[in-house]
Amino acid sequence: MKIKIYTNTSEKIAELSEITSENQQGYAKKHGYEWGSCYFDYARFNDVILDNMRDMREQLSRVDVLMTVGADVMFTNWKIKIEDILVDGDCVVIARERTGWWPVNNDVMLWVNRPETFRVIDQMIEDYDIWKQYIWRTQQHIWNMKQELDWADKAIRIVEAEVMNQSMKRWQIGEFIVHFYGMSIEEKIKNAYAMAALFPDGMPVFKINNEDALPNVVE
């Protein structure tokens, strides 16, 4: 199975990306996955999102599974493989968000190379004029599609946050992924440095006997 991890970056988050991309590439190398990154200017979200989605679609066409992750995402248990998350018949996999009232977070997603997956992507592109004014835009529309369209409901599977998109405030050692959302960039960088120092090889063990670098250093 050919799997690729795909992230994005920009000048504004360059320092954060430097830390997290090293982690992501280390995880990918361990399991024989591809890794790639593209430029994405969040300040111009609506101007660049469609090109980004078309690029993602093209990336998916070249592999069996595409995992999209944000620049504020780190793999914290390299013993877990992406294949472990997938079940037979999966098309699109997204995780719940458990820190507020909004139910899902699309900064970590799995896209399986199947016709139904491309249908989801194409529908989102087609519906641009519907969701471009939403607060969370594509994230919001994915949820709405699952509620309103029977075929999309079948194509999109939701897993719990601890499976592949845990927030820093709820993360526990041994979980697959930590996502530094709901923080300033400075806070994200501080937590990313702490995580990188504690788990450089992705092994979920804690053997440091000092208090200088701990995760969740920012509330």
At residue 109, the 3 state secondary structure works out as strand
pLDDT at 13: 95
pLDDT in tens, 96-129: 998 889 999 999 999 999 999 999 999 999 999 9
Domain ranges of the chain: 3-198
DSSP state of 12: G
pLDDT in tens, 68-90: 999 999 999 999 999 999 999 99
The rounded distance, in Å, linking the Cα atoms of 64 and 44 is: 30
Q: Which residues pair with 132 in a beta bridge?
A: none
Fold of 3-198: Spore Coat Polysaccharide Biosynthesis Protein SpsA; Chain A (3.90.550)
At residue 69, the 3 state secondary structure works out as strand
The rounded distance, in Å, linking the Cα atoms of 2 and 32 is: 9
pLDDT at 208: 66
Mean pLDDT of 11-24: 97
Is the pLDDT at 45 greater than 90, yes or no? yes
pLDDT in tens, 144-190: 999 999 999 999 999 999 999 999 999 999 999 999 999 999 999 99
pLDDT at 181: 95
